[in-house]
Structure 1
């Protein structure tokens, strides 16, 4: 039986200015098992990206507790990989140098690990290509490989496929699932797309509009590979949609 990788308790976040306070997240409670794939979905402005930044240690101005591997999150670290919507590759570095980062490719162990990551994200033959020579999907694969090279305990993905066309997005979802099955990395994946959330996740966390609160946590008990057109998939899609559309005042009545 897997153990708990990530624990979030009573997490509340507000942004303060001289004139006002904006409440972003309110009393978030969530436990994530090792190797679990969690999709987080909700309307724009509900705090999905802010939640990932807090888990990553990029935002420490909050109340409540965030613990990874039993340790309080107090700073960014290699235990937390972060993938943004934009790939954020260095344009002057090749694929293999972008993946290696500050590590030396002259080190045989680093060379081996970089080669393994390139094979894992299916970019053999592009080791010495530059970002301008890559498609959007290929660039995101480099970003994922760069994060995985550090063996993170959790991989945080903030709408990583949002800027891709529909065909490339579908392909990248399959690539990500292959990586997840291979590495067993715990993943938190933010998306606006219901189909994407259901296709990828073990559980879908539905957030309410600002301030972001958990409206429902929906198990996705479908085996992989999943068929988007199948009746079970469509039924779960309808459940997630229903949770998103549930009026705010009925939030506490909605349980899955």
Structure 2
């Protein structure tokens, strides 16, 4: 990979409530390279979504350092795209107008970019459709296109396919990989699905239960297109599953501790 795009160093996050202090993240260190696809897995409540919110600039109350291209992240901005589990489209706007959002389709550059993104996320022919006329997968494709329109330096995805059926989810994984290959956007993708994590990622980051700490960072050195039923995929899946369940680092064949 190229230069470091995102640098997370000694990141810790606490929430103070009526019942005391809860540590959501503890001493998280992670460098993400430009154009890299990172997936994050871990049990519920381990701080996965909190990590994304901090990187997005939606939560700035934490200890440690989080930098994007060398600059501290202090607020949300168009340099950071965020996609939630639900599509959050404007119901009164068509597909093309949802993608353009507050930008005018009368602008030739905006029009061209919207048309290119509609083609990229495979929504040609649905430009004039409203969200109520779309399937869940199609709506999420609109969300992805909208996030990419402003060419963010990093795209953060918080279980965006969690509510989809298995067939739609598999299709959306392919669509997202196509988007990633074409745009070379740095991505961090949170999921509970180990197969999805391995299928998409250059590296899988595994968090321990609360407080969320990184227990392992697993490189995925499988070529694309990846086949989930292949022996190599299943062998890696077993290693990730064992690590996920144990919360302890393991050794790879080359002896490197993860």
Shorter-chain TM-score range: over 0.9
Shift of 1:245: 1.2
Shift of 1:18: 3.9
Consecutive unaligned residues of structure 1, counting only runs of 5 or more, are: none
Query: Do residues 110 (structure 1) and 110 (structure 2) align?
Result: yes
- Cα deviation per residue 1:22-63 (whole Å; 9 max; x = unaligned)? 110000000001000000000000000000000000001111
Aligned counterparts, 1:2-21, within 5 A: 2-21=2-21
Shift of 1:246: 1.2
Q: How many pairs does the alignment contain?
A: 253
RMSD of equivalent CA atoms = 1.0
Distance 1:157 1:58 in 2: 14
Query: Where does residue 254 of structure 2 map in the other structure?
Result: none
Q: SS of the counterpart of 2:39?
A: strand
Query: Where does residue 196 of structure 1 map in the other structure?
Result: 196
Assess, with a 3 A threshold, how the Cα gap between structure 1 residues 126 and 44 changes in structure 2: closer, same or farther.
Answer: same
Consecutive unaligned residues of structure 2, counting only runs of 5 or more, are: 252-256
Distance 1:147 1:54 in 2: 18
Distance 1:60 1:48 in 2: 16
Query: Where does residue 26 of structure 2 map in the other structure?
Result: 26
Distance 1:159 1:17 in 2: 26
- Cα deviation per residue 1:197-239 (whole Å; 9 max; x = unaligned)? 0000000000000010000000000000001000100011011
- Cα deviation per residue 1:9-28 (whole Å; 9 max; x = unaligned)? 00000101244001100000
Query: Where does residue 138 of structure 2 map in the other structure?
Result: 138
Shift of 1:252: 6.0
Aligned counterparts, 1:219-238, within 5 A: 219-238=219-238
Distance 1:233 1:170 in 2: 16
Query: Where does residue 79 of structure 1 map in the other structure?
Result: 79
Distance 1:244 1:3 in 2: 29
Distance 1:163 1:195 in 2: 16
Is contact 2:243–2:249 with CA below 8 Å preserved after alignment? no
Query: Where does residue 124 of structure 2 map in the other structure?
Result: 124
Is contact 2:243–2:250 with CA below 8 Å preserved after alignment? no
Distance 1:52 1:154 in 2: 11
Q: Give the TM-score, by structure 1 length.
A: 0.97
Distance 1:72 1:166 in 2: 38
Shift of 1:253: 6.6
Query: Do residues 206 (structure 1) and 199 (structure 2) align?
Result: no
Aligned counterparts, 1:31-180, within 5 A: 31-180=31-180
Distance 1:185 1:135 in 2: 25
Distance 2:239 2:89 in 1: 37
Q: Give the TM-score, by structure 2 length.
A: 0.96
Distance 2:250 2:222 in 1: 25
Is contact 2:206–2:214 with CA below 8 Å preserved after alignment? yes
